[in-house]
Amino acid sequence: MATKIEPPTTFPPPVGWNPQQPFFSLDISHPQEPGGTSTVHVSCRNTHFFINVSSADWADSPHLIAEYQFLQIILKRLVLGRYGMSDFFAWACRPLLPTFAEINTTAEAASRCTVREKLFPETRVYDLKSRSGELVAEPSDSPAPPLPQQYGVEFSEDEYAGVPTYLLDEVYTENGLETLVLGDGTTVFCKMLQSIIADSHKRELRSYRKMHAAKFDDAVRVPQLLGLLKDNKNTVYGFLLSKPENEMASLANRLGRSPPPDLRKKWDEQITTTLEALHAAGISWGDAKPHNVIIDADDDAYLVEFGNVEFTDWVPSEFAGTPEGDLVGLQRMKVVLHYYGEDMYGDGTVNIEDHGECFFE
């Protein structure tokens, strides 16, 4: 019979710690060897903390060593009785809670920060030590490791010639990176560019430039490229796009609510009209599927995402990135729009997440 593992008597009760803002990132690096140093990563507003945790620093505090050994078991099992990973973070972060609160108060007073501050936060390194039997956080002599950067694509000046550009220090965020505020107060939608799919983003920029040159009327429902978010060199971090004033949902989401036939017909006509105009201007959609059609609060359909041709699940791979492929995707969407989604599960909902090419085979 397995021995029941109990927490040390000094260990705090489970808290189910569910940190909200300003804590928006939590992670941990495990030691390579038993007894090694774990590093807890915590982002608080625009400051990133590296908290080094090692029992070697608590030789005079056996109760802290016992607590840490219990936490090591949680790390291996993820859940232990009523305890889980959140209790590890709560335990390791407890000495820094006053620091987090101070940072949060300062950030709330400022109300917003630049995108540069968000992407490249201040970093601080602390070591958890024992002082008079209490766990404390002391500034570390260890240098802060580099933070991984998932955003940023190198463009040549020719690739974005004529497109307005905004520096990271000139654009502001009040929360995340999806909605940004320009210096003149204009609110825009930002599509951040992931480094690992640079080719898709370059293809998408070419499409947006063609849309701008085509001078479409209002019947062609696509986002407008308002500018590029970049550094003072040629690294572009985001496309700044027109943002509808109302909340939006994807066509896939709206079909899950079994919309009435008149709306389905309206969306069919709007999608078809927009796609015909794009093709006439020499622009391919590339990844035609319900997830890339956005329905705004006025029930109008907008086409989005013009860069992906590698991972298309509604367009045959041999036709990806071509008008022919777009038409295949369009016809499949017409099937979904008119013949699929009539409360197939009997509970008022429909799920089309898994219906790509396999749905039509």
Give the pLDDT confidence score for residue 269 in this predicted structure: 98
Give the pLDDT confidence score for residue 78 in this predicted structure: 66
Bridge partners, residue 83, by sequence: 80
SS3 label, residue 160: helix
Residue 346 lies in a domain: no
CATH number at residue 315: 1.10.510.10
Give the pLDDT confidence score for residue 76 in this predicted structure: 78
Domain that holds residue 284: 249-339
Give the pLDDT confidence score for residue 341 in this predicted structure: 57
DSSP state of 90: H
Residues 61 and 81 in one domain: yes
Give the pLDDT confidence score for residue 86 in this predicted structure: 80
Residues 126 and 33 in one domain: yes
Residues 53 and 134 in one domain: yes
Q: 141 to each of 52, 144, 191, how far by Cα in Å?
A: 11, 9, 38
Residues 87 and 119 in one domain: yes
- CA 168 to chain CA centroid, Å, is 18
Q: Tokens 């490229």 label which residue?
A: 225
**Per-block mean pLDDT, blocks of 10 residues, the chain (361 long):** 62 52 57 67 89 90 90 75 80 91 83 91 96 95 91 97 97 89 94 96 97 96 96 96 76 90 97 98 95 93 92 88 95 87 44 45 39
Residue 228 lies in a domain: yes
Residues 31 and 60 in one domain: yes
Residues 199 and 293 in one domain: no
Residue 19 lies in a domain: no
Residues 175 and 275 in one domain: no
Residue 298 lies in a domain: yes
CATH number at residue 180: 3.30.200.20
Which of 241, 263, 278 is at the close of a domain? 241
Question: Which distant-in-sequence residues (6+ apart) come within 8 Å of 300 by Cβ?
Answer: 221, 270
Residue 347 lies in a domain: no
* Residue 50, amino acid: F
Residues 253 and 225 in one domain: no
Which of 241, 259, 281 is at the close of a domain? 241
Residue 6 lies in a domain: no
Question: Which distant-in-sequence residues (6+ apart) come within 8 Å of 32 by Cβ?
Answer: none
- CA 175 to chain CA centroid, Å, is 12
Residue 14 lies in a domain: no
- Count of domains in the chain? 3
Tokens of 314: 């509604």
- CA 321 to chain CA centroid, Å, is 25
Strands 47-53 and 122-131, how do they pair?
parallel
Residue 145 lies in a domain: no
Residues 255 and 230 in one domain: no
Residues 232 and 186 in one domain: yes
Residues 280 and 323 in one domain: yes
Q: Tokens 């002599």 label which residue?
A: 141
Number of Cβ atoms within 10 Å of the Cβ of 271: 24
Which of 84, 111, 139 is at the close of a domain? 139
Is 348 buried (19+), middle (13-18) or exposed (0-12) by CB count in 10 A?
A: exposed
SS3 label, residue 97: helix
Residues 134 and 170 in one domain: no
